[in-house]
């Protein structure tokens, strides 16, 4: 009995191309979902410290932004969002795909779920350190519109934000909140990258899916839901630390655990998932678009550059 012919494996994609595709996919996705990121940040800062909530719902927050800041106001912080993708997403997807290929078995079998989660955590932690300066700029720029005019920082763009943060508060402020940022990134990437890879693998193991855009879409939405539930408490700690001001030489919070403890005590346990809807509506489509753009660029590269066809 003749043995079955092993499925041909595509040639490896150069690491530089993986990093380039990862960052490009993230930037393209951000152009679509930046308004949701703005709403998510405003919701997480609403009612901070037990004060009256500025926004009752995500829709109320969106209407308020449009009314007070205009249509272009919903894209406040876009330059910071793009820089964040160019640094953070480029690194995390580049490192993850590089590690993923390294840990494949010789016959092309992908790593198991546990290994995928570890690879995702590693990629996320490294990327968070690289992306924190853009992250803190993004948080501050998207939060500015909720403050009275005389209290706003008024950054013109992400480069103005970075320059003023360094000149006014010191270079280390660019990495303020790095600990919760790294923790969030590790949680997000362990959940997002591993659940996406696992969901895609499971879906393709059924007779209903093949490696196409619909499969990528369904796997991405599953991944986005898992990631939102897992990462929101860490994300709210990160957001509030990076937006806090120093009053009389004393910061508002001493660290991530202080944020979480005070939030639960003053606003209730479920406030840790405040802004769940815009977070998922932002993360879900961003995950979908990022992975679809990434998969399509990889497929195009293999087809046109490597001349590989299955």
Q: What is the DSSP code string of 175-227?
A: GTTHHHHHHHHHHHHHHHHHHHHHHHHHHHTSTT--SSHHHHHHHHHHHHHHH
Q: What is the pTM of this model?
A: 0.68
Higher pLDDT, residue 277 or 182: 182
Percent of the chain with pLDDT over 90: 14
CA distance 72 to 145: 12
Q: What is the pLDDT of residue 82?
A: 92
Query: What is the pLDDT at residue 7?
Result: 66
Residues 163-220 have pLDDT tens digits of: 999 999 999 999 988 888 888 888 888 887 788 888 998 999 999 998 888 898 888 8
Q: State residue 4's pLDDT score.
A: 53
Predicted pLDDT of residue 2:
47
Report the pLDDT averaged over residues 298-304: 88
Nearest to 267 by CA among 53, 112, 106, 96: 53
Mean pLDDT over all residues of the chain? 84
* Residue 293 contacts residue 29 (beta carbons within 8 Å): yes
Instruction: Dump pLDDT digits (tens) for 254-268.
Output: 888 888 898 888 888
Distance CA 17, CA 24 (A): 10
User: Taking a C-beta distance cutoff of 8 angstroms, is the pair 5, 290 a contact?
Assistant: no
Q: How far apart are CA 254 and CA 258, in angstroms?
A: 6
Confidence check: pLDDT of 50 > 80? no
* In the predicted structure, residue 86 carries a pLDDT above the cut 70: yes
* Contact between residue 14 and residue 85 where contact means Cβ atoms under 8 Å apart: no
Identify which of 50-64, 217-231, 239-253 has the greatest average pLDDT. Answer: 217-231
Tokens coding 166: 């360094």
């Amino acid at each position: 009995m003749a043995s079955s012919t092993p499925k041909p494996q595509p040639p490896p994609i150069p690491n530089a191309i993986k990093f380039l595709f990862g960052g490009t996919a993230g930037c393209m996705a951000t152009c679509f979902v930046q308004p949701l990121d703005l709403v998510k940040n405003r919701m997480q800062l609403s009612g901070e410290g037990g004060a009256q909530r500025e926004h009752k719902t995500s829709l109320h927050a969106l209407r308020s932004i449009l009314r007070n800041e205009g249509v272009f106001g919903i894209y406040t912080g876009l330059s910071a969002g793009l820089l964040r993708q160019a640094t953070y997403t480029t690194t995390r997807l580049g490192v993850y795909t590089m590690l993923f290929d390294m840990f494949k078995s010789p016959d092309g079998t992908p790593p198991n779920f546990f290994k995928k989660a570890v690879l995702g955590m590693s990629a996320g932690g490294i990327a968070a350190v690289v992306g924190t300066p853009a992250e803190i700029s993004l948080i501050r720029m998207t939060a500015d519109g909720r403050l009275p005019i005389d209290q706003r920082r008024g950054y013109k763009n992400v480069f103005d934000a970075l320059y003023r943060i360094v000149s006014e508060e010191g270079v280390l402020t660019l990495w303020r909140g790095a600990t919760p940022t790294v923790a969030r990134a590790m949680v997000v990437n362990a959940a997002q990258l591993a659940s996406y890879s696992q969901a895609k693998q499971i879906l393709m193991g059924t007779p209903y899916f093949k490696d196409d855009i619909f499969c990528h879409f369904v796997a991405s939405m599953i991944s986005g839901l898992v990631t939102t539930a897992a990462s929101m408490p860490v994300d709210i700690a990160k957001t509030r630390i990076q937006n806090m001001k120093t009053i009389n030489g004393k910061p508002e919070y001493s660290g991530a655990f202080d944020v979480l403890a005070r939030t639960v005590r003053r606003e209730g346990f479920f406030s840790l998932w405040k802004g769940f809807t815009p977070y998922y509506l932002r993360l879900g489509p961003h995950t979908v678009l990022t992975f679809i753009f990434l998969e399509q660029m990889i497929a195009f590269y293999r087809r046109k550059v490597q001349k590989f066809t299955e």
